[in-house]
Structure 1
Amino acid sequence: MVEPRYPGLVESYVNLGECYDRDGLLTVKDELKGCMKGYKGCYQRAYRCLTAAAQLAEDNRSLLLTQSLEDKLARRAKGILSREMRGEGDQAGRSVQRFLSGITWKGPLWNFDTVELLCERVYELSDPWGLAHGMLVQLAAGAMASGRDVIVCPSPLCPDRMEHLLIPALSLAFVTTTPANPWPHKPYRRIRIEGMADPELTRRNRARLRFARRVAAALTEEAVDALAQAKGMHDELEQLYNPHVDFPQVYAMADGLIRHLEERL
């Protein structure tokens, strides 16, 4: 529900509940209640699994992200900025946030075709441990300081962390990849972020890192399974509801709203 701040003045209520055949819905009330409870339970299970997977990923990051690594990432970002961000605009660029990837009922999805449409040059950041966030933040800040707008793409598991960065004005992108989601083409540049971590620290904790990654992958698979079950139950809900919805009334309400909006333009 979204409550209008100024009902009737700016926003208005649209009550689609008027289009239900309530007597007809009573004939399938038990099935409706079962599906409603089931699909909400599946979503809760999926969110718990994804939360646990994100915590394991954060544990791996905290293990490898040392001050030395942060310094290396900062130096690499500074070098890229000096090479790529030549010239400055009259004012600072703006940042918009868009998700380029997500965990869905079909499995993890990455819309790399969006990158290809907007950017010809792609820096591939090979980063199985999720360490590139700090570097991407500096690159985004540098691009905006030079007057370029940026598209910040958060991680679907950890939305407070940047996973990809697009700078359309320069036809330039920085895409984080892992063995599970490689960049499908030859990149303009490839940077091995994992190779910048302390090799002794990585070697000493290799078993722990791999175990956490395997468990996180299993949890993500479980979440995808739960989302698929939720999708199936939601489809059943629609099949139960549809015969008892007055769709001509729904379309008439939509046409009325369209006419009202056109009169305001």
Structure 2
Amino acid sequence: MDRVLIVSEEVVFASHVEKTLVEVGFEVALQNNENGLQQKILDFKPEIIVVKGGSAKLSSLRVGQTLKEVIKYTGKVILILNKNQNIDPNDINRVKMDYLLFEPVGAVKVVSHVLNLMTEHKEAIRGRLNKIAENDQAFRDREEKFMVSGKNADHEMVHVTGKAAKTELTHVKSKEAVGPEEMQHIKNQIDKELIDNEALHAKKIEAYDNAISNLDVDLKVGHKKRQTNERQKALRKELLVDPGQEKLDSLDQERRRFATALMKKKTD
């Protein structure tokens, strides 16, 4: 896999990435518009296509869609979009892409992602890229034009490879450490959370104790099935006990008294 097609109307960017790819061993072709893209692919037969554009003349998403739906391109595709570009999820499903990058993007990031799509010789090529990024001042000057203000090629190498360049080692080692005051603050936060959790647990136990305080049951043992059946039979017997004639007569008198009062109210 050694042929890369760069599709971009940004001449300076395309030339910088092209020069970098050629220096590390790739064969590169350029295309600055969408017209004639299919013929260019047929003629050059690229294994990887890098697309960067956000204008009416050339759009990364539109090219990605063309590659998938019209050209039926089967190689690998890297699309580069503007940093603040809004993307419709439906559009993403319709485009051909293996990587989606957002500006700012320099040659280091592009070449690194190209290498990620390769299966052979990529460690050797990555070594060449690292050497250029560390020692070629002309390359570093060009690369920094595409970086965020204040960042340089060393920062990009750390970002994409996880390894610091020689000039970046001191800076990386001096990253903020957790000091004694911050450690004490963290310890205090943990202690507070433990105390709060313990208080909450105690409240839950108290609420549970209150809920079961009136139960005449050994909760560790519970009721056996036979005991439950016997208790149900006893309750049924209690409900079926004859209240006695005196109780029934009293209830009957109350009913008659209520009926008389009700009829009197209606006649009034």
Same topology, TM > 0.5: no
Instruction: Identify which of structures 1 and 2 has the higher relative contact order when contacts are C-alpha pairs closer than 8 Å and 6+ apart.
Output: 1
Q: Greater CA radius of gyration, 1 or 2?
A: 2
Q: Which has the higher strand share?
A: 1
TM-score in terms of structure 2 length:
0.26
TM-score in terms of structure 1 length:
0.26
